[in-house]
């Protein structure tokens, strides 16, 4: 049995309106593009494609080599917050598995590239772009972007802070080809949000 809630504990939110509009609308699963930023990269308007061009020119934002990106289901901990058995979510962890068959004209350059990412991961931030053209960004950025231009948060990176949980390495792929593999980990205690950034995907390409 569930008792009525205590109205003295704060405002009771309405039940959200369902987004389903009687017609099936599906999305493709999977991602193929990952973006890295330096941790001090700030956007005055993330909806401005020209600003992305400036960041790329300045080498503070870069697209990683094309590959296969799989974002796993979150693993999480919970803890009991009172003697009634009520629980709250503790740590939340998402793993992002990345692999690419791309080595470049001089394959030794790929070793330097991955060593730099491994050594400097604490000063980098990441986003990814799914097969439907949506960018995954932190919740506060998604709110700003949905409100329209100019979309900015002066004190918060557009990308997720991450750890590398599997060191970049070369392993056997399909058809006897070699591939680079790496695993990233992010820990946002929130539902993952995706947004449209018109014109940005073409700039990154």
Q: State the pTM of this model.
A: 0.89
Contact indicator for 33, 63 with CB cutoff of 8 Å: yes
Give the E-state strand segments of the chain in sequence order. Answer: 31-38, 61-63, 68-71, 75-80, 87-100, 124-130, 135-137, 160-161, 163-172, 178-186, 193-195
Structure confidence at residue 87 as a pLDDT band (50, 70, 90): confident
- Please state, for a pLDDT cut of 70, what percent of the chain lies above it: 99
Residue 157 domain-assigned (yes or no): yes
Residue 19 lies in a domain: no
* Contacts of 173 by beta carbon, 8 Å cutoff, 6+ apart: 99, 101, 179
In the chain, how many H helices and how many E strands?
4, 11
Q: Is 173's pLDDT higher than 80?
A: yes
- The reported pLDDT for the residue numbered 1 is 57
Q: Tell me what pLDDT residue 110 has.
A: 98
Domain encompassing residue 57: 27-78+86-204
pLDDT at position 2 is 67
User: Is the residue at 17 inside a domain?
Assistant: no
Kindly state whether residue 22 falls inside one of the protein's structural domains: no
Domain count, the chain: 1
**Contact by Cβ (8 Å): 182, 167:** yes
**DSSP H or E segment with residue 62:** strand 61-63
Question: What rounded mean pLDDT belongs to the chain?
Answer: 93
Residue 12 lies in a domain: no
Asked if residue 96 belongs to a domain, the reply is yes
Q: Is residue 52 part of a domain?
A: yes
pLDDT, tens digit (0-9, with 9 covering 90-100), for 45-79: 999 999 999 999 999 999 999 999 999 999 988 88
Does 8 map to a domain? Answer: no
């Amino acid at each position: 049995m569930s008792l009525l809630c205590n109205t003295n504990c704060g405002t009771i939110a309405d039940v959200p309106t369902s987004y389903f509009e009687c017609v099936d609308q599906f999305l493709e699963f999977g991602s193929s593009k990952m973006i890295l930023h330096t941790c001090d990269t700030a956007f005055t308007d993330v909806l401005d494609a020209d600003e992305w061009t400036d960041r790329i020119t300045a080498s503070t934002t870069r697209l990683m080599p094309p590959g296969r990106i799989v974002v796993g289901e979150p693993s999480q901990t919970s803890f009991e917050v009172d003697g009634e058995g009520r629980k709250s979510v503790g740590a939340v962890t998402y793993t992002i598995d990345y692999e690419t068959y791309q080595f470049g004209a001089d394959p030794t350059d790929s070793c330097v590239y991955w060593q730099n990412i491994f050594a400097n991961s604490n000063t980098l931030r990441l986003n990814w772009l799914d097969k439907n053209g949506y960018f995954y960004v932190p919740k506060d950025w998604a709110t700003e972007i949905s409100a329209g231009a100019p979309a900015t948060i002066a004190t918060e990176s557009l990308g997720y802070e991450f750890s590398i949980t599997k060191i970049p390495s070369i392993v056997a792929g399909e058809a006897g080809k070699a591939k680079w593999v790496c695993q990233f980990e992010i820990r946002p205690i929130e539902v993952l949000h995706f947004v449209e950034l018109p014109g940005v995907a073409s700039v990154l390409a």
